[in-house]
Amino acid sequence: MAEVNVQDLPDRAVVAIGSYAAIGDSFTEGVGDPGPDGSCVGWADRLAVLLDQGRPPGEFRYANLAVRGRLLDRIVEEQVPRAVRLAPDLVTFAAGGNDILRPGTDPDEVADRFEKAVVALTAAAGTVVVATGFDTRGVPVLRHLRGRIATYNGHLRAIADRHGCPVLDLWSLRALRDQRAWSEDRLHLSSEGHARVARLAARVLGADVTPDPDQPWPLTIPVAPADVRRENIRWAKEYFVPWIGRRLRGESSGDNAEAKRPELLPL
């Protein structure tokens, strides 16, 4: 990742991380950040590259168990036991967002199930990083769920405190409030959005990473209100209506998908 520099990776806490397993849904799989071959890259892959920098070839190992569309229960059933078996030095755990988006879901109950998974992970892994949900204040439709997401985030921070887990605080990452941090579907991060999250995660782990993940975006020319409305209509037809349709049919984009990197392997 050419835009990222690690100035002080020999920090002891970072060097002690010789293996990393990422678990979660489309956010951690990397949807919205396509690689040269069309596959997903994403913040977790980018974080693995940062953690691998400066090491002898093959010393650092990485697995990405995340699958798009997964609800928390399926993540706990499929991914958490595999991460426990792998017993890596580091696990990042971002899950529950798809549950919170569904009508009638109780954030308190989702958080209880999340904490049980954290207990299992912390018993097997050296460090478990807990990721919060995004601040959706500027996201069409999802802005109405902001209160539920904030409630869930409050639980996640309390869970992290109780179990000694570092927090990847996505709610407070102001750079993600800019439209350029999001892909065309407005549901997943763009490549630059994923890159900023990777840099924030590296900082949470103690690495001195530049540039600042929260640095301001370049100024742009304001878009006319009429153009904004036309773009919103196009987005609704191409992305939002199909997304709602899948929810009503009980379908997911990842129903038949598998983890892209199920084993701890060198980069």
Average pLDDT, 10 consecutive residues per value, the chain (267 residues): 44 77 97 92 97 92 96 97 98 96 92 98 97 88 88 98 98 94 91 98 93 92 81 77 71 78 96
Whether the Cβ atoms of residue 41 and residue 194 lie closer than 8 Å to each other: yes
CA 162, CA 169: separation in Å to the nearest integer?
16
Structural domains in the chain (count): 1
Residue type, 73: D
Q: Of 31, 132, 21, 40, nearest to 80 (Cα)?
A: 21
Place of tokens 């071959």: 37
Structure tokens given for 153: 């985030």
Q: Which ranges in the chain belong to alpha helices (H)?
A: 12-15, 26-29, 42-52, 72-74, 80-86, 97-100, 107-124, 146-163, 191-204, 225-235, 241-249
CA 73, CA 76: separation in Å to the nearest integer?
5
Range of the domain at 85: 5-266
Which CATH number covers residue 153?
Answer: 3.40.50.1110
Is there a cis peptide before residue 10, judged by omega within 30 degrees of 0?
Answer: no
CA 95, CA 107: separation in Å to the nearest integer?
12
How high is the pLDDT of residue 102?
Answer: 87
Whether the Cβ atoms of residue 19 and residue 60 lie closer than 8 Å to each other: yes
How high is the pLDDT of residue 9?
Answer: 43
Secondary structure class of 92 (helix, strand, coil):
strand
* Angle made by CA atoms 131, 134, 137, in degrees to the nearest 5: 165
How high is the pLDDT of residue 248?
Answer: 67
Whether the Cβ atoms of residue 25 and residue 255 lie closer than 8 Å to each other: no
CA 24, CA 80: separation in Å to the nearest integer?
9
How high is the pLDDT of residue 2?
Answer: 37
Q: What is the CA radius of gyration of the chain?
A: 18
